[in-house]
Chains A and B, each alone.
Chain A
């Protein structure tokens, strides 16, 4: 017998991590996959309805309708709309806070690190303000105003931000969104008890929510953050558990709202705060990246080299990061903060702090982070973390993994930095696509889960298959965290690419997988797609571009996915989004969508088969473009 908590942990694409977790004396999500391996088939198919006291009703051959009369199609699409509305709500919460941060920063005369992005937005919005701070405030106001519109008033910036042919398509389908927050409200009302029963009507609402989520929650969140937090710059950085340096007071950050950390992250490098660390016996403070907010810091890491050493891992690496013993505190502000970290934090005396009450963890102290009170809250947080550091160091064993991860991972890729890297326009990339050196582009985005083969297993296998077919992969989200920890984002990974893509990568000194950062950056990736389409003079569905949320995890991912479908892009999912119980939903999502928006959902849990299908689509699109 040994000290391992359990030897039945799930597989991970990251083999050293898999071994590390299997050897831990603590229970992690990887241990629980086995005990949760029995899934309720009705839940899996989305045909369990709990919307009223007559329920739960489940669809079986002998009970094809719920007590109310709702059939599988109604139940499934109601559940899906509810999930998409929730997911949209999450992203809209993020963009709202982000816009407020820009507004407050501007009003208080704070630093504007991304003047280019500010100008780009002001130009798109048609804002002419000479003063940068006033310009920033006006930009933020324009976004907030749209977010707060009622459902019956269309948002104003949609047309300005969307690709024109897409906007026309959405108008034609009647899915232009009203106020983004109201759309969430509308969606939630629609799928409540005994309201809507029309599956197609509800699926169209999903697309509408996809548009408001995509343009506001994704695209604008990135750009607004660029204004205040600084624009991404391409560079190399370390990733993996190696980034944890026990000589520092280490704070693991989880969530999606980078803007909430800016004040803290600046304070941590101030001399008086560093002095506090030194007094406690540490060299200073470090933020350890985890989940998407970690990806965002990594993306903009050029601006924070002192306080941020690198991204340690994605959502399902968070427990392992804590288990190294090197983390003294967790600050979380949003989702992908697993409840399962709580017992680990207790065991290892790690201080848990939440700075946004939507993500309040049971064991965490809530320190609400309003713009006005943030200096005081920040001081409190710093003091408590120093206290935790002193209380735990020495008494908690270290279980570091200094060899884990990679030192030279390419990061900082954005729609702007990539174009700059290519010489200021997309022509070189277009030429490579036309010549076939790059067969096509696949956005492997979204989350990480533990069930599609294991932790990042499908994602990493799919990426390997795709690059071997000379399809360049762009990533965003927790998928990035898994892929980079497996080394596919180092220039050396070019050797895994097909012969043509390999030459391209080696010539440019880049990996065959380019990391755009957090899931929010799916918005950036779609800006790239739009700009490519614009340069070619075609609509998005014509591009040899596919999306895969191979290991999608949560409701936000579903809202993202709906944006992809609204854009007319093929969307691969490793596991079905609890819709397979409805023939109508499956038909609309996988087939009819091609005619509606040009998009389609492909569901396949096998990496090789999925890659073949996606390659087939890319080849079809190439043929359509006569290349």
Chain B
């Protein structure tokens, strides 16, 4: 399975991964130039956290081997794809219970801002060519894809 490997000590906190993620998942057509950075509909699926010392700790969905989110999903919206190994989210099946949010041990998941009815979840850019946009956008090469 392919996983985005994070080397946090290389992260500068520029959030370009986040912007790239928003761009990859926007509903409208367009380029990074016209991506509406004030529209709460455009949410990133990755996050740059900071520890108490101020070091950046990038939080990216791991598509876990034993995904707690999938285990806790009561609607069948979250599934671990047997071929790619990635955890996919089917918005149309989701029952908006957010047990996945509660059960992700790393706090990756969150409800969407606008409708509070969907989960914001990394899809490995499966609809944008399958190469994660965040990885392509990282100027520090702090994230890369590896077969694990």
Our verdict on whether A and B bind, yes or no, reads yes
Which residues of A line the B interface, CB within 8 A?
36, 38-42, 44-45, 47, 58-62, 64, 71-72, 575-576, 580-581, 583, 603
Binds A, one of B11-19, B73-81, B96-104: B11-19
Chain A CB within 8 A of B139 CB = yes
Choose one: A44, A61, A580; the contact of B40 (CB below 8 Å): A61
A64 to B14 CA separation, bound complex (whole angstroms): 17
> Which residue from B15, B38, B41, B44 sits with its C-beta under 8 Å from A42?
B15
Query: B138 to A580, Cβ gap below 8 A?
Result: no
**A44 and B33 contacting across the interface, CB-CB below 8 Å:** yes
Q: Are B138 and A61 in contact (CB under 8 A)?
A: no
* Interface flag for B46 (CB, 8 Å): no
- CB-CB under 8 A from A581, the residues of chain B are 37-38
Our pick among B37, B136, B137 for the contact of A59 (Cβ within 8 Å) is B37
Interface range on chain B (Cβ under 8 Å from partner): 20 to 34
Contacts of A39 on B, CB cut-off 8 Å? Answer: 16, 32
A202 to chain B, nearest CB (A): 19
Give the residue among B18, B35, B37, B39 with the most A Cβ atoms within 10 A: B37
Q: Are B33 and A45 in contact (CB under 8 A)?
A: yes
Query: Cβ of B108: which chain A residues have Cβ within 8 Å of it?
Result: none
Residue among A41, A59, A60 facing the most chain B CB atoms (10 A cut-off)? A41
How far apart are the CA atoms of A42 and B44 in the complex, in Å? Answer: 14
A61 and B42 within 8 A (CB): yes
CA distance A581 to B35 in the complex (A): 8
Q: Are B37 and A42 in contact (CB under 8 A)?
A: yes
CB–CB A60/B18 < 8 A: yes
Contact of A38 among B18, B37, B137 (CB under 8 A): B137
Contacting B38 at CB < 8 Å: which of A41, A44, A72, A576? Answer: A72
* Nearest opposing residue in chain B for A72, CB measure: B38
**Contact A38–B23 (Cβ < 8 Å):** no
B38 touches A59 (CB 8 A): yes
Q: Which residues of B contact A575 (CB under 8 A)?
A: 33
Known: A38-B139, A42-B15, A42-B19. A61 touches B37 (CB 8 A): yes
Q: What A residues does B69 contact at CB under 8 A?
A: none
Q: Which of A36, A45, A576, A603 contacts B37 (CB 8 A)?
A: A45
Q: Which residues of B contact A62 (CB under 8 A)?
A: 40, 43, 113
Q: Mark B75-113 against chain A: 1 for CB-CB distance below 8 A, else 0.
A: 000000000000000000000000000000000000001
Q: Give the chain A neighbours of B20 by CB distance below 8 A.
A: 41
A581 to B139 alpha-carbon distance, docked (Å): 21
The 17 sampled A-B contact pairs (Cβ below 8 Å) are A38-B138, A41-B32, A42-B37, A44-B33, A45-B32, A58-B15, A60-B15, A61-B22, A61-B38, A61-B39, A61-B42, A71-B38, A72-B38, A580-B33, A580-B34, A581-B37, A583-B38
A36 to B2, CA, bound (A): 26
B14 cross-chain contacts in A, Cβ below 8 A: 40, 42
* Known pairs A40-B16, A41-B16, A41-B19; A64 contacts B38 (CB<8 A): yes
B12 → A minimal CB distance (Å)? 10
Q: Is the CB of B18 within 8 A of A61?
A: no
Residue of A whose beta carbon sits closest to that of B33? A580
Q: Which residues of A contact B35 (CB under 8 A)?
A: 41, 45
A60 to B14, CA, bound (A): 12
Q: Once bound together, how far apart are the Cα atoms of A560 and B14, in whole Å? A: 31
For A72, the chain B residues whose CB sits under 8 A away are 37-38
A58's nearest neighbour on chain B, judged by CB, is B15
Question: Smallest CB-CB separation from B19: which chain A residue?
Answer: A41
Instruction: State whether A41 touches B41 (Cβ < 8 A).
Output: no
Instruction: Give the complex CA separation of A71 and B15 in angstroms.
Output: 18
- Near A by CB (< 8 A), chain B positions 1-33 give 14-16, 18-20, 22-23, 32-33
A44-B35 Cα distance, complex, nearest whole Å:
11
From residue B54, how far is it (CB to closest CB) to chain A in Å?
A: 14
What residues on A are CB-neighbors of B18 within 8 Å? 60
**What does the 1/0 interface line of B37-61 toward A look like (CB < 8 Å)?**
1111111100000000000000000
Given the known A-B contacts A41-B20, A60-B18, are A576 and B33 also in contact in the complex, defined by CB atoms under 8 Å? yes
The interface residues of chain A lying within 8 Å CB-to-CB of B41 are 61
Across the interface, A44 reaches (CB within 8 A) one of B32, B42, B113, namely B32
Task: Give the complex CA separation of A150 and B76 in angstroms.
Answer: 71
In the assembled complex, the Cα of A138 lies from the Cα of B14 at a distance in Å of 54
Question: Nearest chain-A residue to B30 (Cβ)?
Answer: A580
Q: Determine how close the nearest CB of chain B comes to the CB of A464; give it in whole angstroms.
A: 24
Q: Once the chains are docked, how many angstroms separate the CA of A539 from the CA of B34?
A: 33
The distance in angstroms between the C-alpha atoms of A386 and B15, with both chains bound, is: 51
Inter-chain pairs besides A60-B15, A61-B38, 14 sampled, C-beta below 8 Å = A38-B16, A40-B19, A41-B19, A41-B32, A41-B37, A45-B32, A59-B38, A60-B37, A61-B43, A62-B43, A64-B38, A72-B37, A580-B34, A581-B37
A583–B37 Cα gap in the complex (Å)?
10
Which residues of A have CB within 8 Å of B22? 61
A41 to B20, CA, bound (A): 8
B17 → chain A closest CB, angstroms: 10
Complex alpha-carbon distance, A598 and B137, angstroms: 38
Closest-CB distance, B28 to chain A (whole angstroms)? 14
Q: Which chain B residues lie closer than 8 Å to A40 at the CB level? A: 14, 16, 19, 139
Which 4 A-B pairs have CB atoms at the shortest separation, nearest pair first?
A41-B19, A38-B139, A61-B40, A580-B33
Give CA–CA (A38, B19) in the complex, Å: 11
Least distance between B118 CB and chain A CB atoms (Å) = 14
Q: Which residue of A lies closest to B38 (CB)?
A: A64
Q: Please measure, in the bound complex, the distance between the C-alpha atom of A349 and the C-alpha atom of B14, giving whole angstroms.
A: 38
- Give CA–CA (A58, B41) in the complex, Å: 17
Report B-chain residues with C-beta under 8 Å of the C-beta of A603.
Answer: 33
A586–chain B nearest beta-carbon distance, Å = 8
CA distance A61 to B44 in the complex (A): 9
- A39 CA to B14 CA, complexed, in Å: 10
CA distance A58 to B16 in the complex (A): 11
Rounded to whole angstroms, the CA-CA distance of A44 and B44 in the bound complex is 17
Given the complex of chains A and B, what is the CA–CA distance between A291 and B132 in angstroms?
Answer: 40
Instruction: Considering the complex, give the chain A residue whose CB is closest to the CB of B23.
Output: A41
Chain B residue numbers with a CB within 8 Å of A580 are 33-34
- A619 shortest CB reach to chain B, Å: 26
How far is it, in angstroms, between the C-alpha of A45 and the C-alpha of B38 when the chains are bound? 11
A57 → B minimal CB distance (Å): 12
Closest to B41 in A: A61
Closest Cβ of chain A: how far from B56's Cβ, in Å? Answer: 14
